[in-house]
Chains A and B, each alone.
Chain A
Amino acid sequence: MARIWKFGNSINTDLITPGRYNITTDAKELAKVAFIEHRPEFAREVKPGDIIVAGRNFGCGSSRETAVTALKECGIASIIAPSFARIFYRNSINQGLLLIVAGESFTKSIEESHQLQISDGKITNLSTGASTASSASPMLLSLQKYGGILEFLKSHKIEELEQL
């Protein structure tokens, strides 16, 4: 069963992969340091398929892509939040880490003990019965099918991104 990890507003990339720990290009090593100071048990206990639910402006701050790499390597299936910071958003599109935008009153009311059903354009909280409209970047969803932008570019010209 997918576990929910709840975070607050303005979770910046220094919290996700602190500068003292992300001096590596090894995705497995980065996964071990995800939230290492902010929430030490995360890296130990996270399982593939788990979901992050967060507040506004998730991923703000430094452009460090290690934040996305680490969470992807941890197996995070999706991150649900009312808003995402720009560079984190782009990095997620490029890597195929699913980011879902949903209203703040809905995301705020989700607790870690809840179960969510995520379908196309809608999220239902099976534990409370509440549901909300949600959206994901069409470009992210398209690139996810290829396995991310690098996989796409192995067999396509960059200009073809305009057709996504």
Chain B
Amino acid sequence: MSGQTLAQKILSAHAGRQLSIGDLAVVNIDYVLSHDTTTAWAIEPFNQIATKVFDPSKIHVFFDHAFPAPSTQFAEMHRKIERFCKQQGIKINYDGVCHQVMAEKFTYPNTFLVGADSHTPTGGAMGALCCGFGSTDAAVAMATGKIWVKVPQTIRINLEGSLPLGSYPKDVILSIAKKLSSEGANYKVVEFGGSAISSFDVPSRMTLCNMCAEIGAKTGIVSADAQTAAYLKQHNRYQPFEELRSDSDAEFEQVLDFDISGVEPTLACPPDIDNDVPVSQVQGTPITQVFLGSCTNCRIEDLLVAYKIMKGKKVAQGVKFIVTPASREVYESALLNGLLLEFSKMGATIAPPGCGACLGRHMGVLSDDDVCVSTSNRNFTGRMGSPKAKIYLASPATAAASALEGKIADPRKYLKE
């Protein structure tokens, strides 16, 4: 048999036998992730096939997508989930966005995570295979501790060079999305490697892997290495792990060498991820809201980047600047180091940790003529509220510069030494 890809190796280990690409296999899972809507949709399917979950300690339920509850409808859904989890002995997590908290507290290299949410690939930053599924699949996983998979092909992306000043991992992945398109990685794993990847810390890798969901991928992944070890140590849960890699003779469906030295601040123009342009093409577009949040880009590192640009200045008149830390950990760090106070003094509205405005349910819903620069992952029609609102996806730096000017703005002018 020829060399194996990283995804193949992880799935084979979980199947207890060597798997080939294209094989249909039932594999063991290490954990299940679901949240405050997908868990509700999984309860009835679960009840059809089981009475007890396979292992409550391996099931992680997060209240993030609409928390605190913005309506009685949501509150009822939450209570339904709370009753189910209590019955099953599952501890619910109220600490922020599922993918952020999962990476901070639970995900481990070389494991297999079944997540009832499309941005589950975020965890690939930890060198784990983290795939998004629907609620029926989550119910099956909770009931059996297993799931059926078709072993996917892998697209290998080698990142080379180094990021220029003012460009960030979000700009890299938006540029890659333009190249591959919104279905360019359909059903495939996107594996990031190359000479530049070792300089991407886990938070940066999370941005890359998170956005793989938007190009149709089964997941995004980066082999666990020294950066992963550093992140685990930072979170007091380091244990030695095998640095699993794709073999040098692994069968990749495609290998893309991508020079990040040429990446500019980039925005995805509404209404989809295919419409990515350098900031020079859209700067000056008047905006009404900036959302600095989401599992894609609201870690402490992202807040620090935004602060660097905004320090000593104020949010432009007429701009709603909503800062939504991705987790309690991020929120507490930003509280402790004074960042949240600084943002507040600038005129930011600070929302509690969670998904917030990302998906149009609360904490910054858009109306017909709102134009929003968002650090999140989707700009579909109606994603953040009115179907007529316009959403531009961008890095925290571009979002910060735009908040200062009241229009889409190039962050680089604020970063010149």
A-B pairs with beta carbons under 8 Å apart, 21 shown: A10-B183, A14-B381, A14-B382, A18-B360, A18-B382, A19-B361, A20-B361, A23-B66, A23-B73, A25-B43, A56-B183, A57-B183, A60-B182, A60-B216, A62-B378, A63-B134, A87-B133, A94-B140, A148-B136, A153-B140, A158-B140
**CA distance in complex: A14, B44 (Å):** 22
**CA distance in complex: A158, B360 (Å):** 37
Q: Are A63 and B216 in contact (CB under 8 A)?
A: no
Q: Are A159 and B136 in contact (CB under 8 A)?
A: no
Over the window 140-164 of chain A, the binary record of Cβ atoms lying under 8 Å from chain B Cβ atoms (1 yes, 0 no) is 0000000011100110001101101
Over the window 36-69 of chain A, the binary record of Cβ atoms lying under 8 Å from chain B Cβ atoms (1 yes, 0 no) is 0110000000000000000011001111111011
Interface centre among A38, A63, A69, A164 (most CB of B within 10 A): A63
In the complex, the chain A residue whose C-beta lies closest to that of B358 is A19
Please, which residues of chain A bring their CB within 8 A of the CB of B139? 150
Q: Are A94 and B380 in contact (CB under 8 A)?
A: no
Q: Are A61 and B380 in contact (CB under 8 A)?
A: yes
B376 on the interface (CB 8 Å rule)? no
A159 and B37 in contact, given A65-B135, A87-B118 (Cβ under 8 angstroms): no
| Interface of chain B residues 171 through 191 with chain A (CB within 8 A) | 182-183, 186-187
Please, which residues of chain B bring their CB within 8 A of the CB of A37? 382, 387
A77 on the interface (CB 8 Å rule)? no
| Interface of chain B residues 10 through 52 with chain A (CB within 8 A) | 24-26, 37-38, 40-41, 43-45, 48-49
Please, which residues of chain A bring their CB within 8 A of the CB of B66? 23
Please, which residues of chain B bring their CB within 8 A of the CB of A83? 183, 186
**CA distance in complex: A95, B277 (Å):** 39
B125 on the interface (CB 8 Å rule)? no
Please, which residues of chain A bring their CB within 8 A of the CB of B44? 25
A138 to chain B, nearest CB (A): 9
**CA distance in complex: A65, B46 (Å):** 14
A90 and B133 in contact, given A10-B182, A56-B183, A61-B378 (Cβ under 8 angstroms): yes
Q: Are A63 and B132 in contact (CB under 8 A)?
A: yes
Q: Are B48 and A15 in contact (CB under 8 A)?
A: no
Q: Are B49 and A162 in contact (CB under 8 A)?
A: no
| Interface of chain B residues 55 through 83 with chain A (CB within 8 A) | 66, 71, 73-74, 77, 80
**CA distance in complex: A87, B274 (Å):** 19
A94 and B73 in contact, given A56-B183, A61-B378 (Cβ under 8 angstroms): no
B117 on the interface (CB 8 Å rule)? yes
Q: Are A90 and B49 in contact (CB under 8 A)?
A: no
Q: Are B118 and A63 in contact (CB under 8 A)?
A: yes
**CA distance in complex: A14, B140 (Å):** 24
Please, which residues of chain A bring their CB within 8 A of the CB of B380? 12, 14-15, 61
A65 and B136 in contact, given A15-B382, A18-B382, A25-B43 (Cβ under 8 angstroms): yes
- Extra contacts, 5 of them, besides A150-B139, A158-B144 (Cβ < 8 A), are A25-B44, A57-B186, A63-B117, A63-B118, A153-B144
| Interface of chain B residues 210 through 238 with chain A (CB within 8 A) | 216-218
| Interface of chain A residues 73 through 126 with chain B (CB within 8 A) | 83, 85-87, 90-91, 94-95
A28 to chain B, nearest CB (A): 13
Q: For B134, give its contact among A14, A94, A154 (CB under 8 Å).
A: A94
Q: For A139, give its contact among B24, B74, B360 (CB under 8 Å).
A: B24
